[in-house]
Amino acid sequence: MKVVAKIGSSSLTTVTGEIEHRAVAKICAEVAELNSLGHKTVVVTSAAVSAGLAPLGYNAANRPKEAEKLRAASAVGQIALMATYKGHLASNGLTAGQVLLAPTDMWYRNRYLKSRGTLQALLEAGVVPVINENDAVADDEIRFGDNDRLAALVAHLIDADRLVLLTDTAGVFTADPRHDENASLIEEVIEIDQHLERVVGGPGSSLGRGGMASKLAAAKIAAWSGVETTIAQSDRPNVLLDAVSGEPGVGTVFRAHKQRLPARKLWIAFALPASGRIIVDGGARRAIENERRSLLAAGIIKADGEFPADAAVEVFDERGNLFAKGLTRWDSQQIGAHAGSTSDVFPSDLPEEVIHRDDLVMLPS
């Protein structure tokens, strides 16, 4: 079985942002036990930025907002973080392999295949890949957004069987357990719906970008990759072993779907933030849904928001139902000027398709 285990900043660092060695040691020991049972494990880790704040004179309270300072903190913290993993994995007889990924490594086919090949070679050699986003050179406009989504995409990349998202809570609850003593753990989720998304919505900690909402989004990505996901508490004894073996009560388990979306469409559907909306008529929706056609200007009623070409946009029908998402080849002004037009009317330098079918994905209901 191939397992992706992601652990967040709040579980890996002290309140001052320093690396918590006991937490890394625990996770490495459990990875070693998984490997001894024949499982191949990939670790997706956060905390590089957090670990680099203190050496640069910052902490969680005065965390800088400037992107270049955060990138600098990542460059400093990444060394310490990977050295910590290397040491604790080595003490368990394992070799660590650092892999820093960027969104384009998932987006473009050739880079996707190279990333996949590298990870497969590491796993076949018995190495434990330790993955993080390449924050030191990350483009603020093109990034994973948080390591939960990165972990879900890595799970798709390597055809993982399980994704385990480790955090500082025991899983998903019916309400916020910090404020509602009657909140209870949800042990199994068959389908992620809007009600559940409203229940878990909220920001993450001051040390990381993620929160329970991002973990839910990651579980949704994984579900449509055919990967079962468990959200569980990182300091629970044997949490990885129990999650992989399906031990009841280990956390919240999200069941996988039989249908799988390809990597690029997973990225468009779940990882890219929408910059605007396009409203289409019934004929356009039927053509997209039933015939897998591209979206043409003739079927567009209007566009909401301002966005450039190549932006991710959500596609709604005229009743206000969201049913698709894609990368638009037209900007919002061009759509506004030529919505409802046929190709013999709008300028010849515009692409015929507003959203090409290869860049258009039906959103699972």
Q: How many domains does the chain have?
A: 2
Domain residues for the domain of 30 are 2-261
Contacts of 331 (CB under 8 A, 6+ apart): 307, 308, 309, 311
Give bridge partners of residue 2 from the DSSP assignment.
40
Q: Is the pTM of this model over 0.85?
A: no
CA distance 308 to 300: 17
CATH number at residue 93: 3.40.1160.10
| Phi, psi for 354 (deg, rounded to 5) | -70, -45
Contact, 81 vs 113, CB < 8 A?
no
Please indicate, yes or no, whether residues 345 and 318 belong to a single structural domain of this protein.
yes
Q: Residue 139's pLDDT is what?
A: 59
Token code pair at residue 105: 């490594």
Residue 291 lies in a domain: yes
CA distance 311 to 320: 20
pLDDT digits (tens, 9 = 90+) for 180-229: 888 889 999 988 777 787 777 654 444 444 478 888 888 988 988 889 99
Q: Give the pLDDT band (50/70/90) at residue 280.
A: very high
Q: Of 208, 233, 261, which closes a domain? A: 261
Which run of H or of E encompasses 252? strand 251-254
Contact, 311 vs 350, CB < 8 A?
no
Please indicate, yes or no, whether residues 190 and 214 belong to a single structural domain of this protein.
yes
pLDDT digits (tens, 9 = 90+) for 102-145: 877 776 778 888 999 999 999 999 999 999 988 776 655 445 56
Q: Residue 138's pLDDT is what?
A: 65
Give the single-character DSSP code of 293: P
Token code pair at residue 116: 């996949």
